[in-house]
Amino acid sequence: MEITPFDYLESSNFFPNYSNENKLIAYGILGGIPRYLEAFDANKSIQENVASKTL
C-alpha cells in the first residue's frame, strides 16, 4: 500500500488553532507527509516545533 502526502486542506486539519498563514507555513515545512504532520504538536508554535524536532 502506498501512502501519498496529504494536500494543503487535509494537512491544515492537523492544526485547527493555527492561522491560515501558519497552516501554509507548516505545510511548506512538512510537505503533507503524514508522519511529519503527526510529529508536530498543534498546541505549540511552528518555531517551538521546529526547535524541538531539529535542535
Please report which confidence band the pLDDT of residue 3 belongs to, taking 50, 70 and 90 as the band edges: confident
Please report which confidence band the pLDDT of residue 2 belongs to, taking 50, 70 and 90 as the band edges: confident
Helices marked H in the chain: 8-12, 20-30, 34-39, 46-54
pLDDT digits (tens, 9 = 90+) for 12-54: 999 999 999 999 999 999 999 999 999 999 999 999 999 998 8
Q: What percent helix, strand, coil does the chain show, rounded to 5? A: 55, 0, 45
pLDDT for 42? 94
pLDDT for 1? 86
pLDDT for 53? 86
